[in-house]
Amino acid sequence: MKDQIDELAVFGGTPAFQEKLYVGRPNIGNREQILQRIADMLDRRWLSNNGLYVQDLEKRIAKLLDVKHCIAICNATVALEITSRALDLTGEVIVPSFTFIATAHALQWQEITPVFCDIDPVTHCLNPWRIESMITPRTTGIVGVHLWGHPCNTEALTEVASKHNLKLMFDASHAFGCSHNGTMIGNFGDAEVFSFHATKFINAFEGGAVVTNNDDLATKIRLMKNFGFAGYDNVTYIGVNGKMNEACAAMALTSLESLDEFTQINYRNYKCYQSELAGIPGLKLYAHDEAEKRNYQYIVVEMEESVTQVSRDQIVKILHAENVMARRYFYPGCHRMEPYRSYFPHAGLLLPETERLTERVLVLPTGTAIDESDIRLICKILRFVLAHGISIRKQLQSALKPAHFAENQGEFQCTKH
Ligand SMILES: *Cc1c(COP(=O)(O)O)cnc(C)c1O
């Protein structure tokens, strides 16, 4: 363990971890089960096109969430595209900027303009009281994001949507297995979309699903994700290929069977971070509501630089050197990425909370690949760094000054998962 600043890996010490710890390292589940399912699938020679695994997965998800329809899709981005199209969204749609870029891209890909709305600084989700000021005659809908598995204020959003005759859908990519006032996520708005990407709570390698209680919408989405085929040789609609294949469904089923175990491990990790980070000035762990169902998939820390003295980006640099691959989700915010940055260069003026948060947030590793001793060590490093904030900041600045990238010391590329 580090007792001296020079022992930090960023200053040439040995990294605290020999191997990199990642945010979003995939949870695997029962290895024998997935391999057996793949073998059965090969024997059946039914690899895609609404196979048995896809049918089973859709049934199990609908039952688990107590929702009428579940349609498995190849990934959440395509699911968002199909759903927004099935809801006849056009013109402008109100979305948060503090989200993964796919929320905005799924709209822009269809030439629907995402209009970025600010968030609530406590929940990190859309601020419903800011929606009305963003509505124009071209607005057709709202896409809320249940960020970190925290439900949006669905009541207020439903009210504003119905008052202005807008469609309401949710990007629930983070919120599988979560509840809101006792109702499972999946039952809110016109439809909700889940992601089963490898890094998500439940994973299908790549995958997603749309869930809805609207029969007509479900029928339309089923057609759209399969080229509009209503039967052999009968196309009744324009569609794309959004089908989930059987290998992905096999993985998703296996992953789903470990849902309770993944939740327990994530919860254990969350509680460990909570106690280990307690009382570190300037650090605040994002609180998951334990009275509701949560998947505890994201360990989110907010930093107050005026207290910690080292910036969030410096902390990320320090942790990466120790092989803790913390991430700055969702930096810099969709509105500061292309093409939106060029379309709306001043969007940030209406997004003060988003801009503040993108500079403060740090996401730490969790999941089945991490144990409590890892977490204790990560937190020890954080505690040490923040106890010596001023000296470390000075040393980082002088260490970097002679280098050619002195100008750019806060900048670095986000590495992939
Ligand atoms: C992961 C994610 C997506 C995209 O999901 P894919 O299945 O990778 O297409 C969309 N929105 C949010 C908020 C996400 O986290």
* Per-residue model confidence as pLDDT tens digits over 116-150: 999 999 999 999 999 999 999 999 999 999 999 99
* 414 band by pLDDT with thresholds 50, 70 and 90: very low
Q: Which pLDDT score, from 0 to 100, does residue 408 have? A: 45
Answer yes or no: is pLDDT of 355 > 80.
Answer: yes
Annotated catalytic residue within 200, 220, 225, 317: 200
* 399 band by pLDDT with thresholds 50, 70 and 90: confident
Residue nearest to atom 8 of ligand 1 (CA): 197
Residue 107: C-alpha distances to residues 171, 316, 416 (Å)? 12, 31, 24
* Per-residue model confidence as pLDDT tens digits over 59-85: 999 999 999 999 999 999 999 999 999
Task: Please indicate whether residue 252, judged by its CB atom, sits closer than 6 Å to ligand 1.
Answer: no
**CA dihedral defined by 243, 247, 253, 258, rounded to 10 degrees?**
-130
**What number is the average pLDDT over the span 305-332?**
97
Task: Please indicate whether residue 203, judged by its CB atom, sits closer than 6 Å to ligand 1.
Answer: no
Task: Please indicate whether residue 67, judged by its CB atom, sits closer than 6 Å to ligand 1.
Answer: no
- Burial tier of 97 (Cβ tally within 10 Å: 0-12, 13-18, 19+): buried
Task: Please indicate whether residue 103, judged by its CB atom, sits closer than 6 Å to ligand 1.
Answer: yes
Give the CATH number of domain 31-257.
3.40.640.10
Question: What's the CATH fold of domain 5-23+259-409?
Answer: Aspartate Aminotransferase, domain 1 (3.90.1150)
DSSP characters over 147-165? GGGPPP-HHHHHHHHHHTT
CA of 79, closest atom in ligand 1: 9
Residue nearest to atom 10 of ligand 1 (CA): 102
Q: How far is the CA of 75 from the centre of ligand 1 (A)?
A: 8
Q: Any idea where the domains of the chain sit in the sequence?
A: 5-23+259-409, 31-257
What is the rounded radius of gyration, in angstroms, for the C-alpha atoms of the chain?
22
* 1 band by pLDDT with thresholds 50, 70 and 90: low
* 402 band by pLDDT with thresholds 50, 70 and 90: low
* Per-residue model confidence as pLDDT tens digits over 278-288: 999 999 999 99
* 416 band by pLDDT with thresholds 50, 70 and 90: very low
Q: Which DSSP letter does residue 214 get? A: -
CA-nearest of 381, 334, 367, 167 to 261 is 367
| Token digits of residue 120 | 């609530």
Q: Which pLDDT score, from 0 to 100, does residue 228 have? A: 93
Q: Which pLDDT score, from 0 to 100, does residue 204 have? A: 98
Separation of alpha carbons 300 and 150, rounded Å: 12
Separation of alpha carbons 167 and 214, rounded Å: 13
CA-nearest of 399, 344, 359, 364 to 13 is 399
* Per-residue model confidence as pLDDT tens digits over 182-228: 999 999 999 999 999 999 999 999 999 999 999 999 999 999 999 99
| Token digits of residue 281 | 């000035």
The rounded percent of the chain whose pLDDT value lies above 90 is 94
Q: Which pLDDT score, from 0 to 100, does residue 2 have? A: 76
**What number is the average pLDDT over the span 269-298?**
97
Separation of alpha carbons 380 and 388, rounded Å: 12
Answer yes or no: is pLDDT of 335 > 80.
Answer: yes
Give yes or no for a contact between 159 and 113, defined as CB atoms under 8 angstroms apart: no
* 400 band by pLDDT with thresholds 50, 70 and 90: low
Task: Please indicate whether residue 107, judged by its CB atom, sits closer than 6 Å to ligand 1.
Answer: no
| Token digits of residue 313 | 């980006």
Separation of alpha carbons 400 and 237, rounded Å: 59
Quick check: is 68 catalytic?
no
CA of 197, closest atom in ligand 1: 7
CA-nearest of 54, 64, 104, 62 to 84 is 104
Mean pLDDT of the chain: 95
Answer yes or no: is pLDDT of 410 > 50.
Answer: no
Answer yes or no: is pLDDT of 390 > 90.
Answer: yes
